[in-house]
């Protein structure tokens, strides 16, 4: 028994070392990839249920590291930990702005792109905020062409003066979405204090809403609350017609998910917009 105890100890410590090594390895590769602009962005349509049309896309970063797709969940965390996230964010924003500009030039004038921003990318002052705005303006776009998605974890209390930061973002003219709603803590406090335009209900609530009564109640309640507060609601991770029908009956404003489309490469957006058919 002692031996096996010792073995499992070795096993775990080996595993921890492997994890640490992989992280360091990825950090170096990622830093290189950012420098050489080797990250890609794909775009997932967000569909308006009421208008039965699409005019928003969420930008999602992709990284193929020498033949291996690394999940954003993994490398975003590494980028945050090793202070690469601001450069990564700038790269995503500038790639997205270029694509958006081209779409507008093709006549898709009212398209908006949603861009994810991590806690470490929230501007700390006016000049950091200006950097982002400069990028948007550099491509001949308006701040209102961009919506920033922020997760609740970005808003952990005491870390930053969230209200000031949000007001900075807001003054810039960009809209703001609260991402992964319901998964963090003190969600409700944020909704009350912070000037957000959209609430995105996390996929985990949508997945089981047709089979789990509690999830159904939660989703209905979030939608009713958001509407009463004058916010628009987006349901994330909609995969089935059944979910769409339930959300539609609850007057959810927008849906996003594999039912309509996976994230698409930039070259396919114009085609998607012109061929789109809700039914």
How many helices (H) and strands (E) are present in the chain, helices listed first? Answer: 10, 10
179 binds ligand C2E (CB under 6 A): yes
Task: Give yes or no for a contact between 196 and 216, defined as CB atoms under 8 angstroms apart.
Answer: no
Cross-strand pairs, 112: 56
What are 98's two structure tokens?
């270029």
184 binds ligand C2E (CB under 6 A): no
114 binds ligand C2E (CB under 6 A): no
Task: Output the smallest distance, CB 115 to ligand C2E, in A.
Answer: 7
257 binds ligand C2E (CB under 6 A): yes
Candidates 121, 145, 149, 253; binder of Ca ion (CB under 5 A) is 149
Binding footprint of ligand C2E, residue count (CB under 6 A): 21
Separation of CA 61 from chain center: 10
76 binds ligand C2E (CB under 6 A): yes
Please report which residue ranges of 139-237 form alpha helices under DSSP H.
162-171, 187-193, 203-207, 213-228
Binding pattern to Ca ion, positions 86-125, x when CB under 5 A? ------------------------------x---------
3-state secondary structure of 81: helix
3-state secondary structure of 275: helix
Q: Which is nearer to ligand C2E, 72 or 143 (CB)?
A: 72
180 binds ligand C2E (CB under 6 A): yes
118 binds ligand C2E (CB under 6 A): yes
Cross-strand pairs, 178: 150, 199
Which listed range, 67-75, 135-143, 211-219, 226-234, lies at the site for ligand C2E (CB under 6 A)?
A: 67-75
180 binds Ca ion (CB under 5 A): yes
CA distance 99 to 93: 10
Binding pattern to ligand C2E, positions 80-109, x when CB under 6 A? ------------x-----------------
Binds 129: which of ligand C2E, Ca ion, none (CB < 5-8 Å by kind): none
Burial profile 65-89: b = 16 or more Cβ within 10 angstroms, e = fewer:
beeeebeeeebbebbbeeebbbebb
Candidates 220, 263, 270, 276; binder of ligand C2E (CB under 6 A) is 263
What are 156's two structure tokens?
């952990």
Q: Which is nearer to ligand C2E, 14 or 169 (CB)?
A: 169
């Amino acid at each position: 028994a002692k031996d096996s105890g010792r073995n499992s100890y070795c096993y775990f410590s080996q595993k921890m070392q492997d994890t640490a090594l992989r992280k360091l390895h990825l950090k170096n590769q990622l830093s290189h990839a950012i420098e050489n602009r080797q990250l890609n962005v794909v775009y997932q349509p967000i569909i308006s249920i009421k208008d039965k049309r699409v005019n928003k896309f969420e930008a999602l970063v992709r990284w193929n590291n020498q033949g291996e797709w690394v999940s954003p969940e993994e490398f975003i965390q590494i980028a945050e930990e090793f202070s690469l996230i601001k450069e990564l964010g700038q790269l995503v924003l500038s790639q997205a702005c270029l694509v958006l500009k081209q779409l507008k030039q093709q006549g898709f004038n009212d398209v908006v792109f949603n861009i994810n921003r991590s806690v470490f990318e929230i501007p700390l002052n006016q000049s950091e905020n200006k950097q982002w705005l400069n990028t948007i303006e550099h491509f001949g776009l308006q701040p209102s062409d961009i919506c920033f998605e922020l997760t609740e974890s970005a808003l952990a209390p005491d870390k930053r003066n969230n209200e000031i930061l949000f007001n900075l973002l807001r003054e810039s003219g960009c809209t703001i979405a609260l991402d992964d709603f319901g998964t963090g803590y003190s969600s409700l406090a944020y909704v009350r204090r912070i000037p957000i335009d959209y609430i995105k209900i996390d996929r985990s609530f949508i997945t089981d809403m047709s089979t789990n009564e509690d999830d159904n109640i939660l989703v209905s309640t979030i939608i009713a609350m958001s509407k009463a507060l004058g916010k628009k609601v987006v349901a994330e991770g909609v995969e089935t017609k059944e979910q769409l029908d339930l959300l539609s009956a609850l007057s959810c404003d927008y849906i996003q998910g594999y039912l309509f489309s996976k994230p698409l490469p930039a070259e396919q957006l114009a085609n998607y917009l012109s061929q789109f058919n809700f039914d």
